[in-house]
């Protein structure tokens, strides 16, 4: 059987988080850039499928190909690491500073990869700037504006909305990372990880790395979106929501659900009892003296 039981999956999550935290800055940057570019390419595939078929869910069914390539090749996706590295920190397998270092370099890598692909794809879609008739162009422009200025028009409620959608998104994305660990076969991993990814994309939730491509690509193609609109009304709140969705909804809750949290509490309780007994022994020795 190629099935991996949940408790073993949890152990793999912790070890995976530790391994990611130990990568060098150069490795994180290159893996992050490749991960961002591949996910951006999968996003254009999804937009193309939806535009050609006029069936939005068609794009959601195809979008997981990018996620699958990233996971199988061992590249970096910061949204997936949001669930894994905090568990390694909790288990004292790595430090908080190493976790933040990972996130920083991978996000920079994602931006490089996504912006590079956005520039190249804009040239392809517009036929080197001579033709704006592709329906995919309008899809990207509309998505760019709906992910920024549409929230801005709602004011504070818009920020709350994008934050909640980001939490729900990365709950599913990180479940995709975890589901890939439930099988030892390539086909099993592909089938398992695809399910949560289709679920998030079909519902229009907010994914930070996808947005690092969609929003600037839309800006390049003529979307009425400013840098402030991009970062204030989407990128920053989405990164925050994605972190909570991954770290809490997937990482911590699975950690508790699968009994690891209970074991951790027992270890702490045992240490406290030993400390108290040692203190009593020392006190008794002092009294005898």
Boundaries of every domain in the chain: 6-278
Angle, alpha carbons 284-285-288 (nearest 5°): 90
Question: How far, in Å, CA of 251 to CA of 244, rounded?
Answer: 10
CATH 1.20.1080.10 fits 6-278, yes or no: yes
Model pLDDT for residues 223-260, shown as the tens digit of each residue: 999 999 999 999 999 999 999 999 999 999 999 999 87
What is the pTM assigned to this prediction?
0.90
Query: CA–CA distance from 84 to each of 200, 247, 286 (Å)?
Result: 19, 7, 48
288 pLDDT more than 80:
no
Can you say whether the dihedral through the CA atoms of 217, 30, 105, 66 is positive or negative?
positive
Sequence-distant (≥ 6) Cβ neighbours of residue 286 within 8 angstroms:
none
pLDDT for 277: 47
At 264, the pLDDT band (50, 70, 90 cuts) reads low
Question: Quick check: helix, strand or coil at residue 203?
Answer: coil
Mean model confidence pLDDT for the chain: 93
For 260-288, what is the mean pLDDT?
Answer: 52
Which segments within 76-197 are labelled E, that is strand? none
Contacts of 222 by beta carbon, 8 Å cutoff, 6+ apart: 132, 141
Residues 91-150: pLDDT tens digits? 999 999 999 999 999 999 999 999 999 999 999 999 999 999 999 999 999 999 999 999
């Amino acid at each position: 059987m190629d099935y991996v039981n949940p408790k073993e999956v949890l152990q793999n999550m912790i070890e995976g988080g530790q391994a990611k935290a130990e990568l060098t800055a150069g490795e994180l940057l290159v893996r992050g850039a490749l991960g961002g570019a591949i996910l951006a390419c999968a996003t254009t595939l999804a937009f193309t499928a939806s535009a050609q078929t006029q069936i939005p869910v068609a794009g959601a069914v195809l979008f997981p190909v990018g996620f699958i390539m990233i996971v199988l090749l061992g590249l970096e996706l910061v949204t997936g690491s949001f669930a894994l590295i905090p568990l390694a920190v909790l288990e004292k397998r790595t430090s908080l500073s190493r976790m933040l270092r990972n996130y920083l370099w991978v996000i920079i890598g994602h931006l490089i990869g996504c912006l590079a692909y956005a520039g190249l794809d804009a040239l392809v879609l517009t036929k080197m700037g001579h033709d704006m008739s592709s329906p995919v162009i309008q899809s990207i422009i509309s998505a760019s504006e709906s992910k920024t200025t549409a929230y801005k028009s709602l004011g504070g409620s818009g920020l709350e909305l994008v934050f909640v959608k980001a939490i729900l998104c990365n709950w599913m994305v990180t479940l995709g990372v975890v589901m890939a660990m439930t099988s030892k076969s390539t086909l099993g991993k592909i089938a398992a990880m695809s399910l949560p990814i289709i679920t998030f994309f079909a519902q229009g939730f907010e994914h930070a790395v996808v947005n690092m491509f969609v929003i600037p690509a839309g800006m390049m193609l003529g979307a009425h979106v400013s840098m402030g609109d991009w970062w204030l009304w989407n990128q920053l709140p989405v990164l925050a929501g994605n972190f909570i969705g991954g770290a809490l909804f997937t990482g911590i809750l699975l950690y508790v659900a699968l009994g690891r949290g209970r074991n951790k509490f027992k270890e702490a309780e045992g240490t406290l009892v030993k400390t108290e007994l040692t203190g009593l022994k020392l006190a008794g020795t002092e009294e005898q003296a």
